[in-house]
Structure 1
Amino acid sequence: MKILVIGASGRVGTDLVEQLLADDHQVIGTTRQDKKLFDNDNYRQLDLDITAEKDAIAEQIEQDIDAVYFVAGSGGKDVLEVDLHGAVKTMQAVEDKGIKRYIMLSTVFSLDTSKWDTPGIADLKEYYICKHYADQWLVNDSTLDYTIVQAGALKERAGTGNITINDDNAGENAIADVAATLTAVLGANNTIKKVFSLHNGETTINEAIATL
């Protein structure tokens, strides 16, 4: 497949691109960095500014893309421009190009506001508001074949290949396991039009995804 990864230089984006390349996909990664991120013949790079106008974003997206990942994040800066408005503009641009498959990395409980007073989430309220409405737009206002993957806290540690999905705990995730889950979702048609949360657990990623 030919895949666009929006946010290829991020913590999850880096692992995601590596796994997609290992599976022999053609990957176009977006980053504002000048240096090429991956030395691979199947990788190309795009300086895509998601704070630009929607039409300017669409002009840079190739027509024959098979799937788009949104794994970009503001890191707490310009949350409205990046995590909300930027995300929605990429959805609109992808629709304009006739691309259907769109996989969003979101955050645990983004659509469940009743959980937002819990420790760790209350301090990220602006970010959660942005992710909430971006995810709402994707579900309710787009025609995309979306999957929203809601990850708990991201941790720099070795992946286990095992996750738990859709329970009531925010939990933690090895970054490699989030990337592996995003990769597995690509070929799992049962995840289309689905939203699910995950954290490290006891079930293999493919087995967990098969239950959706």
Structure 2
Amino acid sequence: MKILVIGASGRVGTDLVKQLLADNHQVVGTTRQQEKLFSDDNYSQLDLDITAQKDAIQKQIDQDIDAVYFVAGSGGKDILEVDLHGAIKTMQAVQDKGIKRYIMLSTVFSLDTKKWDELGLGDLKGYYISKHYADQWLVNNSSLDYTIVQAAALKEREATGKIIVNDNNSGENSIADVAATLVAVLNASNTTKKVFGMHNGETAIDEAVASV
């Protein structure tokens, strides 16, 4: 498949691209960095500015893309421009291109505002609000075959290959396991039009994704 990864230079994006390339997919990664991120023959790179106008974004996206991942993040800067408005513009651009499959990396309990008090969000409140409304737009305003993966806190540690989904706890995730879950979702038709939370657990990733 030819896959667009929006946010290829991020922590999850880097692992995601590695895993997609290992599965022999053709990957187009977006980054604002000039240096090419991967030397693989199946990898190409796009300097895509998601703060640009929607039409400018749309022109840069190839017509023959089979699936799109949105794993970009503001890192706390320009939250509204990137995590909310930028995300929605990519949804609109992809939809207008006639591309159907769109996989969004979101954050745990993004759509369940009652849980936010339990999380003690502090400085993350603006980020959560942005993710909430971006996810709402994807679910309620798009015709895309979406999957939203709500990952818990990201940790730079070894992959376990095991997760738990929708257990109503926040938990933590190995970054590599989040990337592996995103890869598993790609061809899992049962995840289309679904939103699910995840964190490291005791179930093999493919098995957990099949249960969504």
> 2:39 maps to what in 1?
39
Amino acid at match of 2:57: I
1:119 Cα deviation from its structure 2 partner: 3.7
For residues 152 and 119 of structure 2, the distance between their equivalents in structure 1, rounded to whole angstroms, comes to: 13
Q: Deviations over 1:181-206 (max 9, x none)?
A: 00000010000000000000000001
Q: Within 1, Cα distance between the matches of 2:123 and 2:88?
A: 24
Counterpart in the other structure of 1:190: 190
Task: Provide TM-score, normalisation by structure 2.
Answer: 0.99
Matched, 1:21 2:24: no
Q: Which moved more, 1:175-184 or 1:117-126?
A: 117-126
Instruction: Give percent identity, aligned residues only.
Output: 79
The answer to which of 192-201 and 121-130 deviates more is 121-130
Number of aligned residue pairs: give it: 212
**Aligned counterparts, 1:30-179, within 5 A:** 30-179=30-179
The superposition leaves residues 128-169 of structure 1 with CA deviations (integer Å, 9 ceiling, x where unpaired) of 000000000000000000000000000000010000100111
Q: Secondary structure, in 3 states, of the residue corresponding to 2:138? A: helix
TM-score of the pair, normalised by structure 1: 0.99
Whole-angstrom CA distance in 2 between matches of 1:89 and 1:162: 33
Rounded Cα–Cα distance in structure 2 between residues aligned with 1:86 and 1:9: 16
CA distance in 2 between counterparts of 1:85 and 1:49 reads: 12
Structure 2: which amino acid aligns with 1:107? T
Once the two structures are superposed, what CA deviation does each residue of 1:30-87 show, in whole Å capped at 9, x if it has no partner?
0000000001000000000000000000000000000000000000000000000000
CA distance in 1, matches of 2:113, 2:167: 15
CA distance in 2: counterparts of 1:174 and 1:120, whole angstroms: 21
Contact 1:116 1:122 in 2 (8 A): no
Q: Which runs of 5+ in 2 are unaligned?
A: none
Where structure 1 has 5 or more consecutive residues not aligned to the other structure, the ranges are none
Q: Give the AA of the match of 1:49.
A: D
